[in-house]
Each structure stands twice: as C-alpha cells, then as structure tokens.
C-alpha cells in the first residue's frame, strides 16, 4: 500500500570513494515525490508547475544516512505522507537495498503560487488524494487546526 | 533488436526555459550505454570499473539536437554499435519522443586500464557480444585492420 | 573570521519555476565544505579520499529553506564548525543573498576509513585546525566526553 | 584577449574511476558560455531567458577528450567565437590543466524565441559584441550570406 519506487545505483551517482554522492540521493528523493504526485495523487509536476502556475518547493528536509550505497545496488524508495496542513505537507521516505536501510528522509513541502511566491491552499483535487493516502498507509493525518511549520 | 531504453523527462532535467538542459541528456546517454553493457553485453560498469580495474571513457562525442524535450515527455533511446577496434568502440544513440527525433549522438569509447590510463584490448568476453550486436542490428562491424581514431 | 565562499546562481541550477532546484544547493553546500577543508584546515578532499584512504561522508543533514534563489543571484555561504567528536563533526552553513537568508543547513560529518567503512578518529592534523576554527568563530567546541550521534 | 575562465576539479565532478565524469564537463562548458555572454557580450542568460523571452539552446556539439582530469586539477577554459549567422553562432572551447590539453569542444548555438521555439535573428546588442570578439580573437567572422547549419 505504501508508495514504492525502485532505482539502481549507477556510475553517475557514485563518487571517487565508489559510493553514492549524497546530492544524487536528493535527485532520487525528488523523483520519488514527483512520481507519487503523478501516480498516486493523479497530478503531475508538469501540470502543477507549467500549466497550473503553482509549485511545491521543499521548506525543510532532514536526512539520516545509515549505510553507504554502491554501484549496482538496487534501491527501494518508500514514501509515506504524514500530515497535511492548509498549504503544507509532511512526508517521509525510506531508502533501502535488499532490506538494509540506507537513509531516512523527512520532508516538509509547501504548495505556493508562482506569481506571488506565497503559500496557497492545496486544491481539493490534491488534498483529497493526499488524505486518502495518509489514511491508507496508516499515519495520522492532520487536516484541521494548526498547520505544521506555520504554513 | 536494437537496444532500447525509455526515460521520462522529469522536473530535475528541465531548465528555466522549461526544456531539458542538455548536460542532463549526457547523463541519460551514459545511463543507456551503461544499461547496454550490462543487459546486452553481460558485463556491468560496476564489474568493469570497480572489480575489473578497467574503464570505458568517452574519447569523442558529437550530438545534434533536433527538437527540445519538455517535462513529462516520454523518451525512447535506441543504441546501435557501429564499429569495434582493438580497444575502441563507435556507437550511435537516437533519442525520440512519440516518434519525433530529439537528438542523434555519435560516441567513440575506449577501453582503458585504470592503472596506466592506456588503451587495453577489449577482452573476448566483451568483444564477442559487441560483434554479435553489431551483426544483429545491421551495421557493418570493423574488427580487423586499423582501429578507428587510432586506438 | 567565519569561513565564507561565494557563488552565483546559474542557469544550470534553476528549475522550470525559475528558482534553484534544491538538490543543486547540496552540491554548493558540499563544495563549501570541500573548500573549508582545503583552505582552512589545510587538507584537501583529494588528499583525504584518494591519497589517504579515508572519507568524510555525511551522516545527517537538516536544511530549512527560507526564500527562493533566482538566476543571477549572488550567494554567500558561511560555514561554522560547531562540535568535534572522536570521529564526527557538526557544522552549520548559512546561505544568503545580499543579506537575505536563503537557507540554514546543519550537517554531521563522520571521518571513516574507506577500507572498513568504520568511523576513524580524526587525525591530529585535522582535529587541531578544526578546534582552532571552532574557537575562532565563537561556537562551543565539544572535544571530550560523548561524541554527538554516537560516533 | 581570448575569454578565459578557471575551475577546479572537485569531488562532485569525479566518478568511481577518480576522474571527471564527462557530463560534468558539459556543465562547466555551459557555465563558460554563460559567463562569456554576461562578461564579454554584456547580456546575462537571466536577462535573455527570463526577462527577454529568448533562449540560446545548443544545436550541435562535438567534443574530443584528450586526457582525463583528476580531483584538485586546476582547469582553464578558453572560449573563442568562430562564426555568427543570422541566428546561429559557432564557437570553440578548449579546456586544459597546467598547459596540458584535456578536451576540445565545438558548439553551434541558436538564438530562438521561447514562444515559438523558432530561430530569431540575433539582436544588434548581441551581434555587435559577438562580431567584436570574433575580430579580437582572430577567427574569421561570417556575418553575411548563408548561416552555418541552415539556421
């Protein structure tokens, strides 16, 4: 039920120490979030950004790296939405390889209008599927009251 | 029969003009070559570089960009090996989206020993599958006489 | 006294929304850390990784993004070491543009031996300059007792 | 007189073989072209792309890699414009380190209108400085007749 994507560690991801250079993980994490929006929420980043005039920048992220990944390692990324505020969204992503944890990431995204750069309420077409996925994957949704991180 | 991989244009590939920033194409082209080595030739870049002590750097590439790619575009990459020399390999990759050409790339790779940085003959375990794929995809293999580009 | 580097936001850093794509910030943050090791601590990443057989992977990072950066923006990165453990190091980096905060990053790095992948004590040639820079920039150095994050 | 920028090979540019991963060179090459537009032609990519509604995509590039670059290597990039057409521009960039050639790149850029994606004549404010730089650095400018590559 948890949204899951897979990646293989490639040559391009690895540094002279032969392990994944961590900024490359952020590209993978961002791609996982992008896939989740498109495949689970039903709205692509292209539709949101290019057609819609909105954006979903990252307001905060915290990543704990548990073990290094090497070229050829198959990676599994599991994304779980945690809380949705008026215009914010907390989610977590775990990356593992053959069951071994590689990193745990916590993200806070904000839905903003590109024209103003200001937070904008999630449209119902996104809020509904986000709440459904929070309910489905077992975390406690926060849909009323104080938004996390004041947004 | 031609080796084919697919990619989707993501947010991370696009520039402020909303089209693929061309250095990102080189990451896709390199990943296609990496997949071809592993899936068609049976030897991964990890095995060649990390375990084997060899490398397959690019000696030359020429790319002609035909039309821009936008976020969400499905891309098809088709790789065809053209000529194999003692330690060199010429190949071409075409990228298209829904049948529309996006770019044509010509590459010359060289098989080198990491310790010396000097060209090293392709091992038979790679040369055989390369020649098979040249025969299979219809290009004319060059396996004797002068290697292209003097390597 | 605080270690400072500058960067200009380039085309390559920006996404279709015209602002810095945040994984690119991690390349800038890593480059700032790399410069700090070389210019302030007197030991380059090349010397540590390639010649020395050690590595300085990131164990944890937390970044709060305050305001977006646009193409052409001049960025100032200010790095301050906070605490040094047996094999760990906590540091913070602030990025601003013309005095406006863009992000605040907290990092925990670990000094590891490449051969084992295990934490290794900072050599005196690094520990000394780290402690000097902690003293110089006013943060409270932690050089005895419990290392942060157990490393 | 030739437009010159410098870069240092960083950890982030290098692959598991310890040498620059060639897609990273394209980021450096693009940054050199971006600097040349801003510093020598007097018009930044931000002004062209974001404010002006134009773009300068690469229509063709050919790169010959002569020798590998390693972490810490100081790189010198020398850009020379060769020919300017109605909406196209041919230029070359050489990258060397301490006088040793690393690569030679030939580029054809095209000035296009973002709205149509079609080639658009260089504005005089750009054509003049381009012609001046062609004259200054000794190459033969082509400013009349057939544009190169039909654009």
B97 to A70, B8, C34, D96: CA distances (angstroms) = 32, 9, 40, 37
**Locate tokens 């030939």: which residue?**
D106
pLDDT at B137 over 70: yes
Instruction: Please tell me which of the candidates A30, A60, A65 has its beta carbon nearest to residue C64.
Output: A60
DSSP D121: P
Average pLDDT for A3-7: 97
The nearest alpha carbon in chain D to C27 belongs to D12
- D132 with D36: CB under 8 angstroms? no
CA atoms of A12 and B25, how far apart (whole Å): 12
Run of H or E residues at A28: helix A22-35
Amino acid A54: pLDDT: 93
Amino acid A104: pLDDT: 98
Instruction: Please tell me which of the candidates D15, D57, D63 has its beta carbon nearest to residue B61.
Output: D63
- A31 with C21: CB under 8 angstroms? no
Q: Which of B28, B42, B136, B131 has the alpha carbon at shortest distance from B77?
A: B28
Residue D50 in contact with partner chain C when CB distance is under 8 A: yes
Strand partners, A77: A5, A95
Amino acid D139: pLDDT: 52
Amino acid A137: pLDDT: 86
The share of chain A scoring above pLDDT 70, in percent, equals 91
**Locate tokens 């790399």: which residue?**
C34
B4 to B75, B77, B92, B94, D46: CA distances (angstroms) = 10, 5, 12, 10, 37
Q: What is the largest CA-CA distance in chain B?
A: 48
Residue C12 in contact with partner chain B when CB distance is under 8 A: yes
Confidence at B51, pLDDT banded by 50, 70, 90: confident
Q: What is the mean pLDDT of chain A?
A: 90
pLDDT at A16 over 90: no
The nearest alpha carbon in chain B to A46 belongs to B71
Distance from CA of C39 to the nearest CA of A (A): 21
Tokens representing B92 are 């071409």
Q: What is the mean pLDDT of chain C?
A: 90
For the CA atoms of C137, C140, C146, C149, the dihedral, rounded to the nearest 10 degrees, stands at -60
CB–CB of D63 and B68 under 8 A? no
CB–CB of C17 and A114 under 8 A? yes
Helices C22-35/A22-35 angle, 10° precision? 170
Amino acid D150: pLDDT: 35
The residue ranking higher by pLDDT, A1 or C60, is: C60
**What is the tens place of the pLDDT at every residue in A84-129?**
999 999 999 999 999 999 999 999 999 999 888 899 999 999 999 9
Look at residue A120 and give its three-state secondary structure: coil
Q: For chain D, which residues make up each domain, given as ranges? A: 3-137
CB–CB of B11 and C15 under 8 A? yes
Residue C14 in contact with partner chain B when CB distance is under 8 A: yes
Is 3.10.129.10 the CATH number for D3-137?
yes
Amino acid C144: pLDDT: 38
Tokens representing A63 are 């990543």
In this predicted complex, what is the ipTM?
0.88
Lowest mean pLDDT segment, chosen from A126-140, B98-112, C99-113, D94-108: A126-140
A-D contacts at Cβ under 8 angstroms = 24
Distance from CA of D130 to the nearest CA of A (A): 33
Strands D3-8 and D74-84 turn out to be antiparallel
- C30 with B26: CB under 8 angstroms? no
A-B contacts at Cβ under 8 angstroms = 42
Instruction: Please tell me which of the candidates B31, B50, B70 has its beta carbon nearest to residue A10.
Output: B31
pLDDT at D38 over 70: yes
pLDDT at D2 over 90: yes
Residue B58 in contact with partner chain D when CB distance is under 8 A: yes
Distance from CA of D126 to the nearest CA of B (A): 19
Q: Is residue D145 packed enough to be buried (19+ CB in 10 Å), middle (13-18) or exposed (0-12)?
A: exposed
Q: What is the mean pLDDT of chain B?
A: 90
**What is the tens place of the pLDDT at every residue in D93-148?**
999 999 999 999 999 999 999 888 899 999 999 999 999 999 998 654 444 333 33
Strand partners, B90: B83, B108
Run of H or E residues at D130: helix D124-137
Residue B30 in contact with partner chain A when CB distance is under 8 A: yes
Q: What are phi and psi of A64, to 5 degrees?
A: -115, 120
For the CA atoms of D11, D12, D15, D18, the dihedral, rounded to the nearest 10 degrees, stands at -10
Distance from CA of C108 to the nearest CA of B (A): 26
The nearest alpha carbon in chain C to B18 belongs to C16
Amino acid C145: pLDDT: 38
The residue ranking higher by pLDDT, B101 or D49, is: B101
Tokens representing D53 are 């509604």
Average pLDDT for B123-145: 78
Amino acid D51: pLDDT: 78
Q: For residue C44, count other CB atoms closer than 10 A to its CB.
A: 21
Instruction: Please tell me which of the candidates B19, B50, B57 has its beta carbon nearest to residue D16.
Output: B50
**What is the tens place of the pLDDT at every residue in C12-25?**
899 888 899 999 99
pLDDT at C26 over 50: yes
Look at residue C30 and give its three-state secondary structure: helix
Amino acid C124: pLDDT: 96
D33 to B145, C10, D73, D106: CA distances (angstroms) = 40, 11, 21, 12
CB–CB of A27 and C27 under 8 A? no
Q: DSSP of C70-137, one letter per residue? A: BTT-EEEEEEEEEEE-SSEEEEEEEEEETTEEEEEEEEEEE-EETTT--B-PPPHHHHHHHHHHHHHT
pLDDT at B88 over 60: yes
Q: What is the mean pLDDT of chain D?
A: 90
The residue ranking higher by pLDDT, A62 or D141, is: A62
Amino acid C142: pLDDT: 43
pLDDT at B140 over 60: no
DSSP A83: E
Amino acid B117: pLDDT: 86
For the CA atoms of B45, B70, A7, B29, the dihedral, rounded to the nearest 10 degrees, stands at -10
Residue A58 in contact with partner chain C when CB distance is under 8 A: yes
Residue C19 in contact with partner chain A when CB distance is under 8 A: yes
Average pLDDT for C107-117: 93
Amino acid D149: pLDDT: 39
CB–CB of C12 and D18 under 8 A? no
Instruction: Please tell me which of the candidates D12, D34, D72 has its beta carbon nearest to residue C30.
Output: D12
Residue B31 in contact with partner chain D when CB distance is under 8 A: no
For the CA atoms of C133, C137, C143, C146, the dihedral, rounded to the nearest 10 degrees, stands at -130
pTM above 0.95, yes or no: no
Lowest mean pLDDT segment, chosen from A36-40, B43-47, D62-66: B43-47
Amino acid B139: pLDDT: 52
**Contact residues on chain C for D74, CB-CB shorter than 8 A:** none
The nearest alpha carbon in chain C to B16 belongs to C16
Distance from CA of B134 to the nearest CA of D (A): 24
Q: Which of B62, B70, B63 has the alpha carbon at shortest distance from B20?
A: B70
Look at residue D94 and give its three-state secondary structure: strand
Amino acid A143: pLDDT: 41
Amino acid B138: pLDDT: 65
Q: Which of D86, D73, D90, D85 has the alpha carbon at shortest distance from D33?
A: D90
Q: Which of A84, A96, A87 has the alpha carbon at shortest distance from A7?
A: A96
Region of C18 (left: φ > 0; alpha: ψ -120 to 50; beta: rest) is: left
**Contact residues on chain A for D21, CB-CB shorter than 8 A:** 11-12
CA atoms of D135 and D109, how far apart (whole Å): 19
Look at residue D57 and give its three-state secondary structure: coil
pLDDT at D27 over 50: yes
pLDDT at D8 over 90: yes
Instruction: Please tell me which of the candidates D10, D18, D44 has its beta carbon nearest to residue C34.
Output: D10
């Amino acid at each position: 039920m948890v949204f899951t994507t897979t990646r293989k560690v490639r040559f391009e991801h690895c540094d002279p120490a032969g392990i994944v250079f961590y900024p490359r993980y952020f590209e993978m994490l961002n791609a996982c979030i992008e896939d989740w929006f498109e495949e689970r929420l039903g709205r692509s980043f292209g539709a949101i950004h290019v057609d819609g005039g909105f954006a979903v920048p990252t307001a905060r992220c915290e990543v704990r790296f548990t073990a290094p990944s090497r070229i050829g390692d198959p990676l599994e990324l599991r994304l779980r939405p945690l809380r949705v505020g008026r215009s914010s969204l907390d989610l977590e992503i775990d990356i593992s390889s053959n069951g071994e944890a590689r990193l745990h990431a916590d993200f806070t995204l904000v839905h903003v209008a590109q024209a103003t750069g200001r937070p904008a309420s999630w449209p119902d077409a996104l809020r509904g599927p986000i709440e459904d996925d929070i309910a489905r994957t077992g975390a406690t949704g926060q849909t009323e009251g104080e938004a996390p991180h004041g947004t």
